[in-house]
Structure 1
Amino acid sequence: MKRFSHRVNPAVPSLDLMEALGSAVELTGVTKRHAHGVVALDDVTVSFAQGTFTAVMGPSGSGKSTLLQCAAGLEKPTSGRVMLDGRDLTRLPERKLTLLRRDRVGFVFQAFNLLPSLTAEQNVALPLKLAGRRVDRELVRRSLEAVGLGDRAGHRPAELSGGQQQRVAIARALAARPAVLFGDEPTGALDTNTSRDVLRLLRSLVDRHAQTIVMVTHDPAAAAYADRVLFLADGRIRGELLDPTAEDVSARMLLLEESC
């Protein structure tokens, strides 16, 4: 098995071990049709093991973002079932689905979405306040320490670099203690060196804290930090790579794009 210097724990789970870990998220026969009959996902069945890091890749319009949104409960599929943290999202009424997303799902996007007038600590605590939950200051502090910003709690976004702002966004997602952390191009707005820092952080959250991460990306170098890369085209799964390298991912993407 290959070993990568960017991984805190270089031992990548085997396929058998991934299956033994159990699924944090599982999609079964999921189809999603948008307006005018456009099929974004076409009978997708896939699972994401607990404590693992999966990257999702594919050409533009392949269904990557729709897969992420259905898996996270942001969109309901037209048909099929989505299980997250042992709950069937497709059967939950909207209020319970909202609560589940709030309590068990974390999101990190390309845009940092931090409020400029608030400190890093206040930005991390804000979703808890908006949800009407008591803010556990110790939990907020630990979340910032987990992303290497324990000494920047009092800094506002303008006083932080782009990479540090994304780390605050990750800490904000972690403060809810999510079963799954979803990332939609989380390093897309960062330069190469800063992107690597954030990807090392995501990798360490999996290796040190058994955090489950599902990340959409277009960057083969970013995908190489994951345990597995899932490839989509035309709303269908077209294969996967375990223990990926950037070179292998690039080659697979080239073949996928040529076949579309």
Structure 2
Amino acid sequence: MNPPHVVDLIGVTRHYAHGVTALDDVSIGFAAGTFTAVMGPSGSGKSTLLQCAAGLDRPSSGRVVVDGQDLAALGDRRLTLLRRDRIGFVFQSFNLLPSLTAAQNVALPLRLAGRRPGHRQVLESLAAVGLAERAGHRPAELSGGQQQRVAIARALVTRPAVLFADEPTGALDAATSREVLRLLRDLVDGQAQTVVMVTHDPVAAACADRVVFLADGRIYGELRDPRTEEIATRMLHLEASC
């Protein structure tokens, strides 16, 4: 039996001003406990897909269902609650508050939600990314890779149904990128975390279970159990045709 979808986009279109169509009738699902990479040429709609799937942007038409909730049926308050409790998001920039320790940064989403973060819950989230011993360190005392791992721990502290990552290794060197990608892979394999990652890097995408390709706001196929060479070749063909 195939695992259920945690996220479904059904006929999603997103128009912007001046006649720009970022997504054009996109339908795709992301199954529980899987790792999907989304790739495509610049301007293909990758980030817009992620933002619509995460409820950060509302589509012009179509439906987005996350953890059984149709986002179009939710008002702003309920959508905010769903994003806060069931959706994790990691960006290329770490977005850590420099005056807070790693533990305080991780606890921040809970505090903003009006909850009292448990010390054990915060430490468990840091332990999941291998940084329990760095709980008292501030961002300036951490490497780039460690800061990104703190950002991932912060996204995981609410135990989200899905973790979205937008170019999470874009600001890191090759060795540190491998460290972060290995962590994401371990979260999928060891904790059945659902991960959807936008990336431009075929090496990063090869860590996923499948790669979905976008061009001109539409899906142009996918690869299962992808290899770096296959991904790079597919990307060359896509970029040449755009």
TM-score bracket, shorter-length normalisation: over 0.9
d(CA) in 1 for partners of 2:80 and 2:105? Answer: 21
Matches within 5 A, 1:189-200: 189-200=171-182
Unaligned runs of 5+ in 1: 1-16
d(CA) in 2 for partners of 1:118 and 1:58? Answer: 36
Aligned length: 242
Deviation at 1:116, TM superposition (A): 1.1
- State which of 152, 157, 174 in structure 2 corresponds to 1:170: 152
Q: Would you say 1:24 and 2:1 are equivalent positions? A: no
Deviation at 1:153, TM superposition (A): 0.5
TM superposition outliers: structure 1 runs of 4+ over 2 Å: none
Matches within 5 A, 1:108-119: 108-119=90-101
Aligned to 1:38: 20
Unaligned runs of 5+ in 2: none
- Aligned-residue identity in percent: 74
CA offsets 1:186-233 (integer angstroms, 9 cap, x no match): 000000000000000000000000000000000000000000000000
TM-score for both structures, normalised by structure 1: 0.92
d(CA) in 2 for partners of 1:256 and 1:158? Answer: 40
- State which of 124, 135, 147 in structure 1 corresponds to 2:106: 124
d(CA) in 2 for partners of 1:110 and 1:49? Answer: 24
Deviation at 1:72, TM superposition (A): 0.4
Deviation at 1:175, TM superposition (A): 0.2
- State which of 184, 195, 214 in structure 1 corresponds to 2:166: 184
2:151 match: secondary structure: helix
Aligned to 2:70: 88
2:232 match: secondary structure: helix
Aligned to 1:241: 223
Deviation at 1:126, TM superposition (A): 1.1
Aligned to 1:9: none
TM-score for both structures, normalised by structure 2: 0.99
d(CA) in 2 for partners of 1:117 and 1:48? Answer: 36
- State which of 109, 128, 131 in structure 2 corresponds to 1:149: 131
Letter in 1 for 2:100: L
